[in-house]
Structure 1
Amino acid sequence: MGIATHPFDALMDITARPKTVFVKGEGSWLWDDTGKRYLDFIQGWAVNCLGHSPDVVADALAAQARLLLSPSPAFYNAPSLKLANALVEHSCFDQVFFANSGAEANEGAIKLARKYGALHRNGAYEIITFEGGFHGRTLATMSASGKKAFEPLFEPKVPGFRKALLNDLASVRRLINSKTVAVMLEPIQGEAGVWPATDQFLSELRALTKEHGLLLIVDEIQTGMGRTGKLFHYEHADIEPDIMTLGKGIGGGVPLAALLATEHASCFEHGDQGGTFNGNPLMCAAGLAVLESIAAPAFLKAAVDAGLFLESELQRLSARHGLGEVRGRGLLLALDLKLPMGASILAQAFEAGVLLNSPQPDALRFMPALNVTRDEIGAMIDCLDAILTKVGAARRVA
């Protein structure tokens, strides 16, 4: 029998974590097992779109748990049908496949595109993705990603992913050949440091893919579900992709994801795709509660207003401390630090009871709950302002 020498040792050591155990969350706040409270501007990496433990999700889970947990994906269940129809109603897509994680949804998108190529494009299978992109941690989605740290890992990778440059249409055009079946991208590259594709680029990319008969896949794992001010980010560019993936925010804190496709792109045959827990009623009930909350016009307007306020406060902070640009859209924003001091700022903020994220050493990423308040934004800005003031003073002394 294995014996862990410390309670933390039983978990695989796959990332650096502080020796803190969180036990409770409510809205924008988390509490650890000592009773210390933290203001959370990470929210599970944009997962908790309604904040921690929102009543609508908790109530939906409790009610559904008493009715039906999982009848098997071999049968229909009411919550999955309701959520699928609601997603179709609110989007340009015709069909939905539910999954348990964003990576699984993206894996499904890759498989769907390759199936389409086999059926309609003489076996074409290559998908053009982008440098700096991040699509998940399965072997295929790591291969599709343009993350440098992934390059030496788990070789050999899955072949068939050629990398273009974001916002460079010519770089995409150069990669198109007879083997190409699709182009796949995040509308905003979150993991790379919050680098947006411009609306013009997305529009031109849609035109280019149509010109060549290619599928356009938008990975909206992070940008979807109201994160950038519209229910789905592709709406900003006034385009209609062929395939979209959702994750993170769609479950409001529970493991839920979705692969959406137009009727034209939906070509899976029986046996091609599946999953034991996919579309289970418990998670879909939570997803339906989340979608109904976010899709309300007043909710999205409030989220847009919060995003504009956060952006203006970050710009003010940047000007005060001589930092760089504020990037992103809505409530997915980054502050360019100009110097690799992200880790130091995170540690100081953590001690002060504020949770921040640094996707790159020279940038901070902000992913608060979509219903974050102005007071909570102000408290985070005050904390960050104090830290940057100390950092600046230390640099001047040095």
Structure 2
Amino acid sequence: MTTHAALPGLPQPFGDAYRADPHAVFAALRAEAPVHRVQLPDGSHAWLVTREADVRAGLADPRLSVDKRHADAGYRGFSLPPALDANLLNLDGADHLRLRRLVSKAFTPRRVAALRPRIERAAEELAGGLAERIAAEGRADLVAGFAAVLPLTVIGDLFAVPEADRVRFSGLAGRMLTPRRPQDVAEAVAGLHRLLVDLVAVRRADPGDDLLSALIAARDEEDRLSEDELVSLAFLILLAGSENTEAVISGGVLTLLRHPEHLAAVRRDPALLPGVVEELLRHVHPNQTAIRRFPTEPLRIGGVTVPAGETVLLCLSSAHRDPARYPDADRFDPARADTGHLALGHGVHYCLGAPLARLELEVAFAVLLHRLHGLALAVPVEELTWDTTFRSHALRELPVTGADGAVPGTA
């Protein structure tokens, strides 16, 4: 077994060096210990897999199960009540396929394309509000005023979630994923559980043509899923449909502002946007690791044998910066020939909402770049704050201005 003691020169994953520059830590691990047993912030242990080829293979390997019943020790993920835990990220095989089929009809390319006018209207309204705040105050936070709101608006519309509940869900999800106090996770989970149970009860009493009503009908009329599976699906779709898209929008805007040549190119030719979005998904996607997995048998990964039942974390962020797969991997390059990133998954757990995520991102950048011609950072890059955990790396705020001129912190 490879340990930190055997490799004293390596930076400690998830310590101070990691919070300062996670990509540098992953680069060191790829070179020296690509499959490495690490200690997580909660004191548990996991095997961190950092090379792209091993990560890609692991995502598609059925012997790496997401089902917690195969876990003997180590990190198991959030401690969730059954009504939030019976979701696609904890299920393999027939149960996973059954639930996936129930939801997949909501995310077909045709249905997603039909959402474009609503997404464009929402993006235009938010961009207009951002411009008004900049005009009145000289600056605005693009995260709070746009990136955090647009995805929640879209996914909230799919579920017909009342506006007040959307705001509450966003706040609770933030406390769960980036806790500031030890009690935040437990309190946020309890709040999310109550919110979703209440939402199901309201929609059951007064169904509509939204996705949640369809899932309730599948539960009540067709007996195709349990009550816990119903609430868990709602939890997963709302969470996955908001958090990651928010981070790619904010991280993507920052990246474009720091690369004015690409910003100017996509403004001149919006047809470049799909390529920009794919490169941003590789370059700034917030997920550091995929959902934890557990070998169902002793498994050889990157030349290291990982015992059955231990926790494996497949490091997406490291894979996306692996020069063995992506030449000059740290460089943002929308013309990159290899667009085969792992940001939306790989294998049977590939993201159901991938078409919707891509559409939201394309619309978000198109609207922002069209409406805010003088968009620029309002503070130097060094003053930006990040929420960095072993799960995620995302901007906390992105202060912007509409003034023309150079971007602070870039030369």
TM range, smaller chain? under 0.3
User: What is the TM-score of this pair, normalised by structure 1?
Assistant: 0.28
Question: In proportion to residue count, which structure has more helix?
Answer: 2
Larger RCO: Structure 1 or Structure 2 (Cα < 8 Å, ≥ 6 residues apart)? 2
Q: Which has a greater percent of strand?
A: 1
TM-score by length of 2: 0.27
